[in-house]
Structure 1
């Protein structure tokens, strides 16, 4: 069995990277536009930025306040 080449690996991982970046940008925009969030906004921004995919999902599940 030959190892997966870096080009094939990039083709497999690229959609996940794009999805992660898109979700992170959307979460940051929603956080910035929200008047009220559960907890301090700065903490949520740090969680979104450094939590990668999990940070964005956590914000949408726990960080937003329902109207």
Structure 2
């Protein structure tokens, strides 16, 4: 358990970043109906289960230009 305390200064910002990106991506996914690739369910699953990379993929590949 002592080792976990050593890594907390690194883990907490990463967790906050991951949650922020995931929430931003999910809000955008559920507010918009058109996507460049895929559909709403696919991007929701990718954003939730692929941590930081999923929301980044959505914002770069999936979000349509409206």
TM-score, normalising length from structure 1? Answer: 0.86
**Runs (4+) off by over 3 Å:** none
* Correspondent of 2:28 among 21, 27, 30: 30
Name stretches of at least 5 consecutive residues in structure 1 with no aligned partner.
none
Query: Is 1:16 aligned to residue 22 of structure 2?
Result: no
Q: Deviations over 1:16-40 (max 9, x none)?
A: 1111001100000001001211321
TM-score, normalising length from structure 2? Answer: 0.87
Name stretches of at least 5 consecutive residues in structure 2 with no aligned partner.
none
The count of residues paired between Structure 1 and Structure 2 equals: 64
| Structure 1: distance between partners of 2:49 and 2:41 | 12
Q: Aligned-pair distance for 1:8? A: 2.1
Match of 1:56 in 2: 55
Q: Aligned-pair distance for 1:62? A: 0.6
